[in-house]
Amino acid sequence: MKIVVAGTGYVGLVTAVCLSEVGHTVTCVDVVEEKIKMLNEGKSPIYEPGLEELMLKNKEKLTYTLDSKNAYKNADVIFIGVGTPEKKDGSANLKYVYQVAKEIAENIEKDTIIVLKSTVPIGTNSKMEKFIKANLKNNVKIEVVSNPEFLAQGTAVRDTLYAQRIVIGVNSEHAEKVMRQVYNGFDIPYVITNRESAEMIKYASNDFLALKVSYINEIANLCEIVGADVSDVAKGMGMDSRIGNKFLQAGIGYGGSCFPKDTKALHWLGNFYDYELKTVKAAIEVNANQKLRLIKKARKYYETFEGLNVAVLGLTFKPNTDDLREAPSLDNIPILLDYGAKVKAFDPVGENNFKKFYPNEIEYCQTIEDTIKDADICFIFTEWEDVKEFDINKYKELMKKPIVIDGRNCYDLSSVEGKGIIYESIGRKVINIKK
């Protein structure tokens, strides 16, 4: 079976490499010459643990090319895994999906199953099938299949190879049979449904998880007022099997390539059909406010940031990725700079991407020690292991004023008490310097 994957981002590249891992020969197509060059050199254009190792292991089964015409023409199955970024109104931008669809229609020379892996609004698979059929240059048969991904950045390889389910939206037994052949090497249960339901499963799943994150953050904020500890609250909630303990980590909100755009896209779609998804709307609003929670906490200690030395630990939206999309750092650092702060930042892998936004405005450090040295305040935006395992005593030793505002609850309160620092986190009591 000849498999082609369009797009070499998180979805496309991880899908291609994992399909090669179970025995398929896969061709990856992209329009960005630099990415294809990197891939042919054995380097991944994205930071994802375990991905380059699998690329090397399966290099004989993987091809990377800019030549979409030759790649598509004899493919048995073509996966579309290109981005669907949000538009200004919150709707999904399907420009890149339809660009690929047009290329496929113009170049395939045999019957082909086309699999839409990208996250798209409900009804897109059916519309795309009509679009491809209308633009076919050769007398061939095509079917479009909805096969949404459920990978998380930082664990994408594991999430693909050992997924909890494979969702396949099809309109024929033939398409189902082909997709079962594609995934024959995966020991994972199937959910076979129509295309619209498969599309909705993706949005409903992501938006539900976003709801959990915003809900626990709301509870955390109230915990601070009433004297409860959100860590204990989340533990008690999570032990209930009906709730589960995942996505109950209080913090400064969700980010990344999925939750922000998927909540906005589903909310937009509801409004398009004159139906407001009130819970999804609330999750979006709560998340936007939560991202600025640390700035508000810092106001208790400084009326202005003018001339302050500010340390920032973590730039990416989560650990084990270099992705900055919707990262809290991109909301907070501009505010700090606007108010005259001198910012030093540390991130194990996100520095180069952040420099695209702020090449010279902040100082980038290679160690946490250098970042916090002589700082008046320290903000933690990402729960990197480097941060979680950092010697807490060094905050007092190195900072001018040992004030740590932790947006990811990296430290147990018991480990911070008596260390001579002011420590504020999310949904927990404030640790003050004991006199």
Residues 246-271: tens digit of each pLDDT? 999 999 999 998 999 999 999 999 99
The radius of gyration computed from the CA coordinates of the chain, to the nearest angstrom, equals 24
Q: Which residues pair with 380 in a beta bridge?
A: 313, 406
Q: Where in the chain are the domains? A: 2-193, 201-290, 293-424
Q: Which helix (H) or strand (E) holds 110?
A: none
CATH 3.40.50.720 is the classification of domain 2-193? yes
Tokens coding 429? 């009591």
Other C-beta atoms lying within 10 Å of the C-beta of residue 137 = 10
User: What pLDDT is attached to residue 257?
Assistant: 85
Contact 206, 247 (CB under 8 A): no
Provide the pLDDT for residue 337: 97
Work out the end-to-end distance of the chain between its first and last CA atoms, rounded to an integer number of angstroms: 71
Q: Which of 189, 185, 175, 92 is nearest to 141 (CA)?
A: 175
Q: What is the pTM (predicted TM-score) of this model?
A: 0.93
Per-residue pLDDT of 406-423, as tens digits, reads: 999 999 999 999 999 999
Annotation says 258 is catalytic: yes
Task: Say whether 293-424 and 2-193 share the same fold.
Answer: yes
Q: What CATH class has 293-424?
A: alpha beta
Q: What pLDDT, on the 0 to 100 scale, is given for residue 433?
A: 85
Instruction: Give me the average pLDDT of each 10-residue run along the chain (435 residues).
Output: 94 97 96 96 94 97 96 96 92 96 97 97 97 97 97 92 96 97 95 98 97 98 98 98 96 93 95 96 97 96 96 97 95 97 97 96 98 98 98 98 98 96 98 79
Choosing from 18, 258, 365, 378, the catalytic residue is: 258
Domain 201-290 has CATH 1.20.58.220: no
